[in-house]
Structure formats: structure tokens, C-alpha cells
A and B are shown apart, each in its own frame.
Chain A
């Protein structure tokens, strides 16, 4: 595997389900990100992890819970979601060394909440 991978690619869940999105980067990067892309809206940053520590949480509802066990893996745990949470969830990674470093994205997980 190369680059940034995400699983599953598609997910349909009910509002009472619990599921997790997985992201893995094979680029040797030290920072990882979750973004949400809803229809007709710009991408929204959800979470940032640098060196496995969360550095930013853009007021995301608690029904989204991130986990970064090591610098290569990032999870987004989902529970009791709402239909408006249906979106494309994109993971990204970058090597942070004090510059505006490029973020590389995975293919995304398309989530539908029924």
C-alpha cells in the first residue's frame, strides 16, 4: 500500500449504530487530519493530530470521537449520528517541520446515515 488509505470506502448506518472509520498513512508523516465534506459546502476541518496528540478540535459534536494510536493510524469513532452527518469523510497526513507543508489525502469514506 502507498499513500493514504481509508476503510471502508462506503458506509451506511442507522442513527443508533456505532461504527469506526480507519485511516492509514504510508508516507512517514507525523501529522494526521480528519475533514468533512458535505454537499455544496467547503471542506471542514474536524480534527488535527500532531505526533499522536490532538492539537485542534473545531467544535465537533461529541458523537464523533477521534483516536490516533500511532503516527500511521487514525480512527474516527461514530455513535448516534444524525442524518445531517451524511458526508464524505477525508483523512489527510503531512510532515510538519514548521512550514506550510502539503497535506496528502486518502480516497475518503462516503457515509450515509439513515
Chain B
């Protein structure tokens, strides 16, 4: 079985300060991992993905994430938050199951950016 845990349901930062959104996963196989962002009343948009290449993955809008197998983590970071980053962020794991590929979504982290 596979699962994904987003450790914080809400994160609040000041504009210009670093962002850290935490994600831990479990998977029986070498997983693919993704971060998606959802702005209010919008669909989800892919931020970045890890697929067994470089462990440090760079995404759009200055976000990046590091795959750490020993810690089963895939935390999302950004050096300096912008007001437009306020959104909900979902960590997603893809692994093999008996029926083929399966995507498992985390429960989301709501990021608030304050002036």
C-alpha cells in the first residue's frame, strides 16, 4: 500500500520569507512524486515532479523539492514567498499496484502569505 502525509494543514509566512511545505510518503516501489498547486476556485496545476532522476527537482514559480529516500520525504521549498503563492498545495505519490499505476493525494496544505 502507498500513502502520503502532508504534515501541516496550514502554513503562514510573511512575504519575502522562505516557504517549507512538508510531505512524507510510503510506497512499496520506487515512487514518482509530484506537487500540485490549487488557487481558489481553480483546478490543480503541476508545480514539479520527481521520477527517479535528479533528487533535487526545480519547478515553476521558483519552487523546488528534494527527494530524500532515507527520510521518505519530498518537502517543497521556496526561498522567498510572494503574495501570489497563497494557495493550497498537494503532494502526490504514484506507485505500482496490482492494477497498475495509482495516484494517491495528500490532504493538502493551505499556504497563507501575509504582508
Asked if A pairs with B, the answer is no
